[in-house]
């Protein structure tokens, strides 16, 4: 069975102390994950080491960076490299969140480089894709997402691709309280899996975890995660509330 993952994306929220309290509240709630069920916390960069140390005795709980640069080192003021994450023991990174694409002009080409360098360092990229509202209204979401996959992921070898987690996040559903219906999520996840199958074969496609993101909450997680091609979620707002996120974790298949 594929990995089922609930990934928290804190974005640029919470003080260090608030972050500690939130993690303590979740980890001390008695929730335990085993087998194929995983939690990932994408915390702000200055909190990575703290979050990592808190996960020590919690199997299947991981920490992710929210972003990473495409170069290994050098004169890139303010950026964070893959080797830096490795040196902190961080093994997941979100790549290509729509906010990075929109506000920091990250292109499919740059994201391809970031995915590659993450994999070279044994860091699991959580690669985000998804369309904006006008694209959905024009019913062009499938070809839009296909292009994102082709330009950022499909030069990987099959072995490399199997180490990538994909997150489908329709931009019109992020932070808006407007979730894609579970049918819309399933439809796109199936499309993504079909695209992978067409390029790499059905067997490989069946191994890739595809998360849904966009206003996932405690009250809709179970239904969305229950769809056959949905393997968990990437959660923004609701991941900032311990009870909400715990319930989302319990909604994993």
Q: Is residue 169 part of the contact set for ligand PGA (CB under 6 A)?
A: yes
In Å, how far are 73, 194, 220 from 204, measured between CA atoms? 33, 11, 29
Q: Give dist(CA 184, CA 186) in Å, integer.
A: 5
Could you tell me the smallest distance in angstroms from the CB atom of residue 175 to ligand PGA?
Answer: 4
Instruction: Decide: is 215 part of the binding site for ligand PGA (CB under 6 A).
Output: yes
- Cβ 7 to ligand PGA, closest distance in Å? 8
| Residue of minimal Cβ distance to ligand PGA | 236
Q: Which of 169, 191, 195, 244 is catalytic?
A: 169
Q: How far is the CB of 200 from ligand PGA (least distance, A)?
A: 26
Q: Is 169 a catalytic residue?
A: yes
Which residue matches tokens 């405690």?
A: 218
Q: Closest CB to ligand PGA among 160 and 223? A: 223
Binding-site member from 96, 214, 232, 251 for ligand PGA (CB under 6 A): 214
138: enclosing H helix or E strand:
none
> With respect to ligand PGA, which residue has the nearer C-beta, 205 or 216?
216
Q: How far apart are CA 212 and CA 135, in angstroms?
A: 18
Contact indicator for 170, 180 with CB cutoff of 8 Å: yes
Question: Does residue number 175 form part of the binding site for ligand PGA (CB under 6 A)?
Answer: yes
Q: Could you tell me the smallest distance in angstroms from the CB atom of residue 76 to ligand PGA?
A: 25
Taking the C-alpha atoms of residue 241 and residue 23, their distance in angstroms, rounded to an integer, is 10
Is the CB of 55 or the CB of 235 nearer to ligand PGA?
235
With tokens 């292109």, the residue in question is 107
242-250 helix and 16-27 helix, angle to the nearest 10 degrees: 40
Is 5 in contact with 231 (CB distance < 8 Å)?
yes
Task: Tell me which residues are annotated as active site.
Answer: 97, 169
Residue ranges in contact with ligand PGA by CB under 6 A: 9, 169, 174-175, 213-216, 234-238
């Amino acid at each position: 069975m594929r990995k089922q993952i609930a990934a928290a994306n804190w974005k640029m929220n919470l003080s260090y102390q608030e972050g500690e309290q939130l993690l303590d509240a979740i980890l001390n709630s008695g929730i335990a994950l085993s087998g194929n069920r995983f939690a990932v916390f994408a915390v702000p960069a200055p909190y990575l080491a703290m979050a990592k140390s808190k996960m020590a005795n919690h199997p299947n709980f991981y920490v992710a960076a929210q972003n990473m640069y495409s170069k290994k080192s050098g004169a890139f003021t303010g950026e964070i490299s893959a080797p830096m994450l490795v040196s902190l023991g961080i093994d997941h990174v979100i790549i290509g969140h729509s906010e990075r694409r929109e506000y920091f002009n990250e292109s499919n080409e740059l994201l391809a480089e970031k995915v590659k360098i993450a994999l070279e360092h044994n860091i699991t990229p959580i690669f985000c894709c998804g369309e904006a509202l006008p694209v959905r209204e024009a019913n062009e979401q499938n070809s839009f997402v296909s292009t994102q996959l082709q330009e950022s992921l499909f030069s990987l070898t099959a072995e490399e691709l199997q180490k990538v987690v994909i997150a489908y996040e329709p931009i019109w559903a992020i932070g808006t309280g407007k979730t894609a219906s579970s049918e819309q999520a399933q439809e796109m996840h199936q499309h993504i899996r079909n695209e992978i199958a067409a390029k790499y074969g059905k067997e490989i496609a069946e191994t890739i975890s595809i998360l849904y993101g966009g206003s996932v909450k405690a009250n809709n997680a179970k239904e969305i995660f229950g769809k056959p091609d949905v393997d968990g979620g990437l959660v923004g707002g609701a991941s900032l509330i311990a009870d909400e996120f715990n319930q989302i974790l319990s909604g994993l298949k």
